[in-house]
Structure formats: C-alpha cells, structure tokens
Amino acid sequence: MAPGLDGLPAAEREVEVAAPVAEFLRSASPRALRRIRLGLRAFEWLPFPWRFSRLGGGARDDFLRRMEASRFSLHHELLLMAKVLVTLGYAVAPRVEEKIGTRRSCRLADGSLPAPQGTLGDTMPSGPEEECDVVIVGSGAGGAVAAATLAEAGLDVIVLEAGEAFDQESYPADPLEAIARLYRDGGLTIAEGRPQVPVPVGRAVGGTTVVNSGTCFRAPPAVLEDWRTRFGIEWATDLDGAFAEAEELLRVTPLDPERMGRNGQLAMEGAAALGASGGPISRNAGSCVQCSSCPLGCEIDAKRGMHVSYIPRAVAAGARLRTGVEARRVLIEKGRATGVACTLAPLRPGPGNRGKGTARAGSRPYAVRARLATVVAGGALGTPELLLRSGLSGSPIGRNLHIHPACWIGARYAEEVRGWDGVMQSYYVDEWEPQRLLLEATFTPLAFGGAWLPGAGSDHQRSLLEFHHVGSIGVHLSDESSGRVSLTRDGSLRVRYKLTQEDANRLTFGIARAAEIHFAAGATEVYPNIPRAGVLTPSNLPDFESTRFKPSELRLEAFHPMGTARISPPGDGACAPNGSVHGVSDLYVADASLFPTSLGVNPMMTIIAFATRIATELTKSS
C-alpha cells in the first residue's frame, strides 16, 4: 500500500510497518481484532484468484484504483480499513516524518515549560479492600471534578481509574505506543452500523481530557433550556457559576488569531469572506502555539486536562487515587450501592507509582466499600457497561447514545499550510447551528489525518507528499440519530449506532459549507470523504449538493459519546436530575452519560458543570 515514491521510503523494504502495527493491535479488544482479521483476510482475497500481497507494484496500484472507483460500499470499507492501518504504521516512521516535514514539538508562545501540577499521591491500594465515604469510578471530566468537589467538602474519597497516570516525563514518545496506552482498546472502539463509526475514548488518569483537543465551549443556552423544560433538570439553566469556576481553574482563553496557525487562519478568512459567524476557539492550554499532537497527550502538559488540574486538587484535599483498577461490578445490597468490586491490573511505572513496577505481578481482585455513595463516571461507554455488568439491565441504561458524528474535510491550497505548525483545533464556525452543525478548523497528526487523504497506493503517497498544502475543517453534527451500548454474551462492550437519512443529509450540507469556506480561502480542491463524490471543485459543488448520499456512503468519526444513562423519568431515562440511578439508593452517575439529548458543542465543559452540580448536591445530602 506504500510502495515508496519521490523520496518517501517503501513500506517493509525501507521502513517497518506490519510489525509495529501488529504489536499495536495487541491493545485492541478481541471483538475489534476479530473484525480486523476478517476484514484484512477479505481484502487480501478480493483480487481473487490472486492475492493482494502477491501482486506486483503496478497490479496493486491498478487494483487499489478499481477499489476506489467501485460502486460497492464494502469495497470502500475494506480499503479504508487497510489504509487506516497502513497509514498509522507508516506515517509515524521517522524517515517518513522527515520527508514530509511533520514533527511533534509542543511549545508555549514564550518558550517556557508549564510548571508541574501537584502530586497524584500513592496510587497503590493499601490492601485487598479499602473503605471510604464515596468511591468514584473514572477520573475523566466527570469523575475528577466530582472527586475534587467531594474531597474539598471534607468527604473521604477514593477514585478508581482503569488506565495509567502520565505526565510531562512519562508520555510515550512512540506515537503507536501512546495510542495503545492512552486510549481504550488502542482507540479502536467502533460503533457498529452503516457506516461503522470509530468512537475513540481515553483510558488514563484524566480520562479523555488527556487526549482531547482542549476546546472549551459552554453548553448552548437553548439546549439547557430544553433539558430544563422537557427533562425536568431545573438547574440546567443555572450553570453559569460552574462554567466560570471551571474556566478559571483550567485557564480557558481564546486563541490569538495571530498565533493559532495557518490552518485556523484559512478557516477564519474563508468564513469571513462568506459572512459566516464564528471565532477563535477558547482552550484550556494557555499560550500553546504548536504542535497539533493533542491526541497523543500534550508532552509539556500545556493542556490542563483533569490529570493536571482537578485530580491533583482532589488529592491535595485528601482523595486517594487508585490506578490500573478496573471496576467490574457495583456492589448492590438490598437495593443500595455499597461499593465496587474491581480487578487490579499489573502495574507499569508512572507518576505516583514510579519504581513500583514489579509490585503487582498479575491482575488480582480488589474492592472498595463506600459508606455514603458510589459514583460512576466511566464515560458514556464505560458507565453503561459497568451498570449493565452490575445487573441493572431491563432499563434504559445504554440506550440513547449520541456521538456528534463528524467528518474531516481536507482541501488543497496552493500556499503552504503546514497545519502541524499551529494549534490543533483553532477556529469555529457556528453559522449553521440551526442546521445542527458546528464546523471547527482541526488539523490532526498525519498518523490519523493521513488516511483521509485521497488515493490509495502510489496515489495516496502523492497525497502524503502534498500534506503541507492541506488544510482541514471538521464538520460536527448535533445528532438526532442514536445508538446503543450493550454487552455481548461474553460480557464485553458492544456499541451500535444508526445514522438516519436526515442526519446524513445534514452532514452532506455541512460538508458543502466546509468546502465553500475552503474555496473562499483559496483552496483549489476539496476532499469530501465520500467515495462516490470524488474530489470537489467550485464548479462541481452544486452537483454535490443536489446529490443524495446514503448514510453508509459517509466516512465518519466521533469523539463525543453521551446520553447512555440519561436524566429522564423512570422508563425513559436512567437517572434523576440529581444524578442518582433510578431504583438503586446511593448510586450516582456524573459524566457525559447524563445528557438527555445531543449537546451540539464539544462537551467537556458541560460535563464538568454537571459533575460540579451533582457532587455539590451530594455533599448537601450526605
């Protein structure tokens, strides 16, 4: 798939791709692995009676072009899977990065390094069972904030986190290792459906905030008003104080247009030329000016994720953080949650557990007894998974999954964009909010973004060589479509999602708007990521807009799962407005799962505001 071209090294002959990718895939779930194996086998035999791996260079390119032009969506899905895996392994090879000119070097505007942010304490349990007032599962946007709020109110808190702890000194330098260790299932969590949608979520102290883009939006007032009136969340329109407090702690500031990088500036110029409303994005990364590698962890911790903000604050107030601990089951006795039964994973060295790497030889049981309450904040996939595993089935838990399906719309500019020399997510356009759309200039690292460039084989290599001329905009939809989180027979996670034709139409409309912005900023061609549409130019854009594309034709990703334990009356939702789970005493949810409908903007700040509110109410009732 990467034969080598004009100075780009040939895969396998000059740079290793298969072995590092195979090693990386060890972090995928058995279910994902089975699907990948099956897909690769089918891909290998598609040129039947020949096998793809045995074809010569020219024949491979011909075959890949035929796959690109095929009218069967299965061909596109298989090709995309092969392209994603190959690009992941190929793009991170130092020789490839050197040739293309990408590099990872996080930097603040004044060249300084952010000071380390407090301690995480000793993350090792003191025995096979511990006791506290409140146990919290998950240390992401919801769990970390609940922990700080409860600990500062004087409660004895234990936070359980399945992932490891990372800081400036311990982020893995190798991108594949970073993905494997910072994400659940190596980032290969897929919502099954047509199309299949990857929904990566973080798995580390700080949760997904460690790998997110640092974009901070308050919830749209109209959405909060809807949640108040339709779902009975009386306090939903009273969150200004919680937003302001979080913005101060996370040092949320709007980007300086001069310093946000050319990718954001082009989106800004294009939107201005069209008269579309928008602005520089506010972020929790202070004056960071570089480097577009937020999804691999911010190696200087400029981004104030939960691991460098609320978690150290919770620990300073006495909370105990336990890492490498997977909550397996909420303990429920006589209708009351009394704690959590867990598995303690073998430990790797990290902050808070340096030098203790050999202390846990294999995984072993561990439990936490909670005197007052059990709070589940494992994210919109992890929370329903745990609740379902705890026997709370037959209720709306796991339903109503919304994900903000998104597509990456790249464009070729005559000028050099060098998107990696700027802030990853930098400028938003909210002109089409009435159509449920939010556009954000987002430049992803080559290992992720490279697979979305046009072409396959030699043609894709040509695209890679032009990467410094590429600009990109993410189109995010506030989805009415929904999905479901459930457990398979063997108890593992299953995520399903069904994109409706109406939402596919909205996304197509959004792609056309992103294309218009690109063209207005000087782009010569746009890549809509819909195989049947090919490459867009100003002259064929009207044809694109008048074409109806089936949901299965779109290539999507999603980064904002929510709604799987929503606040709504019993029968319709899983939780009451105070976050308590219907039907079980002393059991609460405090994360993205609570949202009754799709939010419409990047959710971290709203999750923080919800967790603040729920934990504050909990301190009053305890």
Ligand X SMILES: Cc1cc2nc3c(=O)[nH]c(=O)nc-3n(C[C@H](O)[C@H](O)[C@H](O)COP(=O)(O)OP(=O)(O)OC[C@H]3O[C@@H](n4cnc5c(N)ncnc54)[C@H](O)[C@@H]3O)c2cc1C
424 in contact with ligand SF4 (CB under 6 A): yes
Q: What is the DSSP letter of 211?
A: T
445 in contact with ligand X (CB under 6 A): no
565 in contact with ligand SF4 (CB under 6 A): no
Q: How far lies 560's CA from each of 208, 218, 600, in Å?
A: 10, 15, 10
Token pair, residue 293, equals 């590698």
Is position 75 annotated as part of the catalytic site?
Answer: no
- The contact mask relative to ligand SF4 for 303-322 (x = CB under 6 A, - = no) is x-------------------
Q: Which residue, 350 or 382, has its beta carbon nearer to ligand X?
A: 382
114 in contact with ligand SF4 (CB under 6 A): no
560 in contact with ligand X (CB under 6 A): yes
Which of ligand X, ligand SF4, none has residue 291 at its interface (CB below 5 to 8 Å by kind)?
Answer: ligand SF4
Token pair, residue 339, equals 């704690």
204 in contact with ligand SF4 (CB under 6 A): no
Q: Which residue, 294 or 397, has its beta carbon nearer to ligand SF4?
A: 294
The owner of tokens 């936490």 is: 368
284 in contact with ligand X (CB under 6 A): no
441 in contact with ligand SF4 (CB under 6 A): no
Q: For residues 512 and 78, what is the distance between their CA atoms, to the nearest angstrom?
A: 26
Q: For residues 61 and 387, what is the distance between their CA atoms, to the nearest angstrom?
A: 48
214 in contact with ligand SF4 (CB under 6 A): yes
Cα 492 versus chain centre, distance: 20
- The contact mask relative to ligand X for 202-241 (x = CB under 6 A, - = no) is xxx--xxx-xxxxx--------------------------
Q: For residues 304 and 275, what is the distance between their CA atoms, to the nearest angstrom?
A: 33
Query: Which residue stretch of 154-162, 262-270, 288-296, 377-385 sits at the interface with ligand SF4 (rule: CB under 6 A)?
Result: 288-296
Q: Which residue, 181 or 560, has its beta carbon nearer to ligand X?
A: 560
423 in contact with ligand SF4 (CB under 6 A): yes
**Closest distance of CB 513 from ligand X, Å:** 21
**Closest distance of CB 250 from ligand SF4, Å:** 12
Among 142, 350, 474, 579, the residue binding ligand X under the rule CB under 6 A is 142
Closest alpha carbon to 148 in 309, 313, 306: 313
Q: Which of 75, 76, 460, 560 is catalytic?
A: 560
377 in contact with ligand X (CB under 6 A): yes
Q: For residues 320 and 136, what is the distance between their CA atoms, to the nearest angstrom?
A: 10
Residues forming beta bridges with residue 190, ordered by sequence position? 198
530 in contact with ligand SF4 (CB under 6 A): no
Single-letter amino acid, residue 207? G
Q: Torsion-angle region of residue 424: left (phi > 0), alpha (psi -120 to 50) or beta?
A: alpha
Q: For residues 80 and 450, what is the distance between their CA atoms, to the nearest angstrom?
A: 11
Q: For residues 196 and 192, what is the distance between their CA atoms, to the nearest angstrom?
A: 5
Q: What is the DSSP letter of 10?
A: P
- Assess contact for 405 and 477: CB atoms under 8 A: yes
Phi then psi for 340, rounded to 5 degrees? -140, 135
Task: Name the residues annotated as catalytic.
Answer: 560
Site residues (vs ligand X, CB under 6 A)? 137-143, 160-163, 200-204, 207-209, 211-215, 295, 325-327, 377-380, 382, 386, 425, 559-560, 591-592, 602-604, 607
Q: Which residues bind ligand SF4 (CB under 6 A)?
A: 106, 214, 285, 288, 290-294, 298, 300, 302-303, 423-424
